Structure 1
């Protein structure tokens, strides 16, 4: 019975990781697409309306996804106490870095950038700090993308040959 519970716990943890990872990657991809559409010299109107899309994505996709991803990795770490401990520690640390960067740097910065975009639009004047804040926000988003790619790389590189593994039903 304990093995069944452990397998169920492991399946739930893996599901949380897959859903969280996918949503994180999807939200980053949507932000990249918006920046590509914006081009090199976006108008104040475009930046204002872009933020109407960014804020809901941050609140309803990015924030929940990074926490799902972290909770899944905590569950995976707890379920697999034995075995590939070093791999699980690395994956847990990467997921923690994603949460720290996303929750405590990107999301507050995104709110500030949105406020600046709103102010620019309302006053029709360029706010000098806007471009710098937006650049930092994009760089931190790129860092989370790098963390996600690193996570996938570590997972793939340390998984070994799937034919050698016993399939857990």
Structure 2
């Protein structure tokens, strides 16, 4: 546990961990009033060098890292969903109309990068790049290995010097 910080110091630490620059974190935590950008930067830098502040920032960062766990299996499942997505599922088979975003099944919705609805209610979908998802899965499975083997530059293993034959004079 770190030493007790002032409320401003705690706010500064939290803002740094959120990803703000030192100067922006300082502005959020302290009354900067008529301070120049240079003096704000200097004060923020000095504060960041304080051992109590450094310890608290590290402590907060470790908590965040502990909460954010990236599982390879989840990433691969998501890439597989995208690779196997079928954009034809945006059409309602009974009515023939384009489905609204909330009507899409989970797999089709996962393939949607963005959408726009104009003033007439027409919807335009933009999808994630299916080829890049497939390529990532290929790389993960090592399926480019054969191609890469074929494309390797030839390896010179042996160099043999052969004397040239002298030209015969005429």
- TM-score of the two chains, using structure 1 as the length reference: 0.26
Structure showing the higher helix proportion among its residues: 1
- TM-score of the two chains, using structure 2 as the length reference: 0.26
Structure showing the higher strand proportion among its residues: 2
User: Which structure has more RCO (C-alpha within 8 Å, separation ≥ 6)?
Assistant: 1
